[in-house]
Amino acid sequence: MLFTQGRALVVGVGKYQYVPAANVAQTTNDAVSLAQALTNQGGYPQNQVTLLADGSASRAALIASLQQLANTAQPGDIVIFFYSGHGDYATDGSFYLTTSDTQLDGDKIKLDTGLGQSEFLTLLRAIKARQLLIIINSCFSGKLEPSLGFNTEAAPAALGSGVPDAVTTAALATGSGRVIITACQESERSWVGNGNLTIFGQSLVQGINGSAGLPGPFVSANDLYNYLFKTVPPAAQQLGHQQEPVLTVLRQVGLPLLVALNAATARSG
């Protein structure tokens, strides 16, 4: 059985061409594992899931892929946009999602070397799907050091801010049916943990693989968030940290927003 209405753009930036000290292998693994879960367990047709990882996650490729999503997604489709990587502020004060070719100007992101909030919101606005789930796993690079072992003095703190509330609010306004899940509160960090994925990424993949689903044929955005909220904070607490995923829903979304087939139900059936 296929979840034919599902489309996804999955982005993991784990290698930085110009800022190698900020490399985070787990963010790439998040994206690869989620793309596999969507196609292998969630029922997404393979040709409707686009994966950008490491070198392929450049600024140009990310913009082109979002434009392609806007051109192909239909109003009745359900679209997932997932990003795992560093986020921070540029020299003009705007928030950026970094890409593999992001550069720094001092301790800030150089303009037009990532995806700035204005461009990001414009690209989201062009997506015609009435239901869009945006999942952002944005990390503080310095706080990843306990698991990755790179020198925090060498790793620029400028590649590590959570998504500002103002950007989340603006993203919701790009159309009806927008739901956003972020890996942590704006003032918190998203932690790597001890595995091959980030703490948030591990729980997200488990949720798509069937751990989040209630009895029934589908996993909803609410099911997914409830599972993340149940599993991410205690995993972070085991490492002595605080991390609480955040769910933001536009009123017109018409919940439940179904995001994948329920693999657990399929296995039991």
The stretches in the chain having pLDDT less than 70 are 139-176, 213-214, 250-255, 266-269
Q: Is residue 1 part of a domain?
A: no
Please tell me the distance from the alpha carbon of residue 53 to that of residue 25, in angstroms, as a whole number: 10
Q: Is residue 149 part of a domain?
A: yes
User: pTM for this structure?
Assistant: 0.87
- Structural domain range at position 227: 6-268
The pLDDT value recorded for residue 214 is 65
- Is residue 247 within 8 Å of residue 180, measured between CB atoms? yes
Strand 114-116 relative to strand 108-109, pairing: unpaired
Neighbours of 217 (CB within 10 A): 14
User: Which residues have CB under 8 Å from 230's CB, separation 6+?
Assistant: none
The pLDDT value recorded for residue 195 is 86
Please report, for the domain that includes residue 56, its CATH number: 3.40.50.1460
The pLDDT value recorded for residue 4 is 94
Q: What would the pLDDT profile of 82-125 be if each residue is shown by its tens digit? A: 999 988 888 998 888 899 999 999 888 999 999 998 899 889 98
Token pair 């942590």 is found at: 184
The number of folded domains in the chain is 1
If you count them, how many residues does the chain have? 269
